[in-house]
Amino acid sequence: MPIKNRFAELLPEITEWRRDLHAHPEILFDCHRTAGVVAEKLRAFGCDEVVEGIGRTGVVGVIKGKATGSGKVIGLRADMDALPIHEATGVEHASKTPGAMHACGHDGHTAMLLGAAKYLAETRNFDGTVVVIFQPAEEGGGGGKEMCDDGMMARWGIQEVYGMHNWPGRPAGSFAIREGAFFAATDQFVIDLEGRGGHAAKPHDCIDTTVVAAQLVVALQTIASRNVDPTKQLVVSVCTFRTESEAFNVIPQKVRLKGTVRTLDADVRDLAETRIKALTEGLAASFGATASIDYMRGYPVMVNTPEQTEFAADVARAVGGGCEEAPLVMGGEDFAYMLEERPGAYILVGNGDTANVHHPAYDFNDEIIPAGCSWWAEIAERRMPAA
């Protein structure tokens, strides 16, 4: 079945919702206005239950089919939060909040799931229950984990869960997915090095932490090139290098490095953490410096389960005429927490030739709304077909 006609009819209305959300971005868990708009609309659609405050500011809506004898319960999830970026699109619906913008398309995800919820509440042409999940704090806050920790899956008896993300560079409205590990685990580290500061003209009287840190930045790259099976993926990136002095003639006492580690395999994740600590401590000691390391594990690997991935791809082929195999993504996605609790799948929908996500010139492509809404609606109707 192609794009549902109802979503073509609803496109102007859903676009209006999306642009309103875009103009009023909220960061991490501070999604109070967004959550309020979502809850208000779900109640207006006639959802059987609407609950706010799950995972702090998350919203859950429940839509029962014309029959529920199948006992099936499907979760559909969209993220609501924006990014701390100053918008540079110049569009009429641009952010009204300085330093915050929907630079990843979560406004579009929320609007599309609201559109699907409106349709499903109107038609209820399925045998079971749909739980629509609107999540805060995907962009680094772990809102998905907090919703799960609040008992969301058990409370509503969710058996499977499905998510979606727009993807700039893919043809608008096209789909791509992959089975198994899809998005990477995202860890962070802070390394503090301390030597003996002093005058730059007397380096022999110092333990130069800048030299230690520079050597360490290079050494950390050997984890991927010399410690990990080359057929497996690992990214170790040092992204901050800060000394305690900005003078031209001072060797600093302390240097701080910050970075991220991305992996798609649990063993590689463990190895990376072990080697970062060993290299840091060993290299610092070899120069006579000391080191402390704060290694913080972030989102886990996001893993699509086989049966649900094939089903999601079948639905995508029905809606969009095809579904390609997506590449591995070394970015993180906290939908991973929901997939750790329940089987399910996460799919990419093309956003067309637009600026990339997390860029100040990015804007969600409203033309893809009918495709996204149709996919979510078809997930419910095909997985829980009415008698």
The H-or-E segment that residue 51 falls in is strand 49-54
49-54 vs 58-64, strand pairing mode: antiparallel
Ligand-binding site membership of 106 (annotated): yes
Instruction: Report how far residue 138's alpha carbon sits from residue 183's, in angstroms, rounded to the nearest whole number.
Output: 13
Ligand-binding site membership of 22 (annotated): no
- The number of C-alpha atoms within 13 Å of 42 and in the hemisphere containing its C-beta is 28
pLDDT tens digits for range 33-46: 999 999 999 999 99
pLDDT tens digits for range 293-309: 999 999 999 999 999 99
The CATH class of the 185-296 domain is alpha beta
- Report the pLDDT averaged over residues 82-108: 98
Please, which residues have CB within 8 angstroms of residue 185's CB and are 6 or more apart in sequence?
261, 262, 263, 264, 269, 297, 298, 299, 300, 301, 332, 336
Ligand-binding site membership of 323 (annotated): no
Parts of the chain belonging to CATH 3.30.70.360: 185-296
Q: How many helices (H) and strands (E) does the chain have?
A: 11, 16
Q: How would you label 174-199 residue by residue, b for 16+ Cβ within 10 Å and e otherwise?
A: bbbbbbebbbbbbbebebbbbbebbe
Q: What is the predicted pLDDT for the residue at 387?
A: 84
CATH of 5-183+301-383, one of 3.40.50.300, 3.30.70.260, 1.10.1200.10, 3.40.630.10: 3.40.630.10
- Distances in Å between the Cα of 78 and the Cα atoms of 165, 186, 332, 333, 359 are 9, 20, 15, 12, 20
Place of tokens 């070899």: 286
Q: Which of 119, 149, 122, 121 is nearest to 50 (CA)?
A: 121
pLDDT tens digits for range 63-74: 999 999 999 999
- Distances in Å between the Cα of 384 and the Cα atoms of 73, 129, 379 are 8, 8, 8
pTM above 0.75, yes or no: yes
Ligand-binding site membership of 87 (annotated): no
Give the model's confidence band at 211: pLDDT under 50 very low, under 70 low, under 90 confident, else very high: very high
Parts of the chain belonging to CATH 3.40.630.10: 5-183+301-383
223: which DSSP letter?
I
Q: What is the predicted pLDDT for the residue at 74?
A: 98
Give the model's confidence band at 57: pLDDT under 50 very low, under 70 low, under 90 confident, else very high: very high
Q: Do 280 and 159 contact (CB within 8 A), yes or no?
A: no
- The catalytic site residues sit at 81, 138
Cα dihedral 271, 191, 278, 263, rounded to 10, equals: 10
Q: Evaluate if residue 366 carries a pLDDT over 70.
A: yes
Q: Evaluate if residue 93 carries a pLDDT over 60.
A: yes
Ligand-binding site membership of 104 (annotated): yes
pLDDT averaged over the chain? 97
Q: What is the predicted pLDDT for the residue at 132?
A: 99
Instruction: Report how far residue 166's alpha carbon sits from residue 373's, in angstroms, rounded to the nearest whole number.
Output: 12
Q: What is the predicted pLDDT for the residue at 248?
A: 97
Q: Evaluate if residue 7 carries a pLDDT over 70.
A: yes
Instruction: Report how far residue 34's alpha carbon sits from residue 212's, in angstroms, rounded to the nearest whole number.
Output: 47
pLDDT tens digits for range 126-149: 999 999 999 999 999 999 999 999
- The number of C-alpha atoms within 13 Å of 364 and in the hemisphere containing its C-beta is 33
pLDDT tens digits for range 341-364: 999 999 999 999 999 999 999 999
Give the model's confidence band at 4: pLDDT under 50 very low, under 70 low, under 90 confident, else very high: confident
